[in-house]
Amino acid sequence: MDNNSKPSLPSDRRGPGTNTRLQEFGDITTVTASPLPNSEKPQKWPRGWKWVYIAIVGYCECLTFLVSMMLAPSVPQVLAEFRPLGGSKSLGSFSVTVYILGFCVGPLLLGPLTDLYGRIVIYRLSIVGFILFTVSCALSPSLEALITFRFFAGCFGGAPMAIGGAVIADMYEPGKRDWLMVSYSAGTMMGPTIGPVLGGVITGHYGWRWLFWVAAILSGVAAGLLLILPETHLPTLERRQTRRASRPNSDENPTERASTRWNIKLLIRTISCAVSLPTRIAGHSTVLWMLVLIAVFNGLVNMVLSSLGSIYQRKYHFRPATAGLSYLGIGVGGLAALAATKRLKRYLAGMFIAKGVAESSEASLLFLAAVTPTTSIGLLCYRPNSSS
């Protein structure tokens, strides 16, 4: 990418001396931030507390992915209530996948806001919005209302997906993040697997509306856990340090005192820059083909996930409580892929070290190219077993 075309995202510029220069869109505001003591930096936190932090954030991510497919085995019951005389079955499946559509919209807005207000503030606001729209799903008067509420629940539920990796990056150095990211990604695999199993059991005993009441209760637990978590975004912590030092009754006496002035112009420019950034990145041929591949893979996975429960109930006469068990195979396959990916990374790292060559990020694409045909094999096996 041409250096002249890089977007002006908020960043911290560390220069010589004891102070840190934080320049947010130079024509709007410039902040001289007091440096944060090493003991207060997230990377210096105790290891046990870091693990607690990651466990709570991982729970939030697993929860949002759990809710994504919790409704899948209950689509026949939803259609029976809202479309008793029959209707489009695709609309019932769309009530499941529209949540994933919210994942595409929400992170574009929530992600850049963390540069202005910090990670944990956006986490807390997003979980509140997620709870409100999840409760609205439970009270939906029509199928159209359910689809609308599911979309907005997905928008707020995408916050952990957008921020979780950044939280790990705040607390760990680059060399220690890989295996943590693999472990953290397990929530994205287990959520869509546990969700339909739990959803089928709840629907079979209490009805499909109780899916969202249970999800709201679990989200309330997540909201309570988020209240105990401190901020990890270093520029935000330094700005807070500056504001404390700039107070007249402050014990500190910094050489430069300043306060951060956030305004609507900065907010709009930050969001617009973040929204346009994916389009600029996608202009590269390698990135474009990877985006197409990811889009096709995610589309196929969501197609299977949204239809699997209905197929087992229609063709194999499973009850809702047992139809969710059909999703366990997908979870086992996902965990096996994560385990294989971790071993592959170690193998590739050792191979590059032995050859004295610097490891490149593109090296993992070799493994991706090797396992891609297994998707076609799985779909060929799925087709004859899913037809009526």
Tens digit of each residue's pLDDT (9 = 90 or more) over 178-209: 778 877 877 777 888 888 889 888 998 899 99
% of the chain exceeding 90 in pLDDT: 24
Position 107 scores a pLDDT of 84
Provide the edge-to-edge strand list for the sheet that holds 29-33: 11-13, 20-24, 29-33
Considering only 58-67, 187-196, 250-259, 327-336, which range has the smallest mean pLDDT?
250-259
Q: What are the sequence ranges of the domains in the chain?
A: 41-241+261-381
Position 52 scores a pLDDT of 92
Q: Which two three-digit tokens encode residue 148?
A: 């609308």
Position 248 scores a pLDDT of 58
Given a cut of 60, whether residue 13 has pLDDT beyond it is: no
The β-bridge partners of 12 are 22
**Cα separation of the two ends of the chain:** 50
Best CATH choice for the domain 41-241+261-381 from the list 1.20.1250.20, 3.90.1150.10, 2.60.120.560, 3.30.420.60: 1.20.1250.20
**Is there a contact between 203 and 320 (Cβ–Cβ < 8 Å)?**
yes
Angle at 112 between CA 107 and CA 114, to 5 degrees: 100
Average pLDDT of the chain is: 79
Confidence of residue 98 (pLDDT cuts 50, 70, 90): very high
3-state SS, residue 12: strand
Give the Cβ contact number of residue 5 at 10 Å: 8
Confidence of residue 56 (pLDDT cuts 50, 70, 90): very high
- Run of H or E including 253: none
CA–CA separation, 47 vs 131, rounded Å? 31
**Is there a contact between 110 and 160 (Cβ–Cβ < 8 Å)?**
no
Confidence of residue 53 (pLDDT cuts 50, 70, 90): very high
**Per-residue DSSP letter, 251:** S
Q: Which two three-digit tokens encode residue 263?
A: 């305004």
Given a cut of 90, whether residue 211 has pLDDT beyond it is: yes
Nearest to 99 by CA among 59, 122, 65, 62: 65
Confidence of residue 348 (pLDDT cuts 50, 70, 90): confident
**Is there a contact between 130 and 183 (Cβ–Cβ < 8 Å)?**
no
CA–CA separation, 351 vs 104, rounded Å? 36
Mean per-residue pLDDT for 210-235?
94
Position 371 scores a pLDDT of 78
3-state SS, residue 50: helix
Position 106 scores a pLDDT of 86
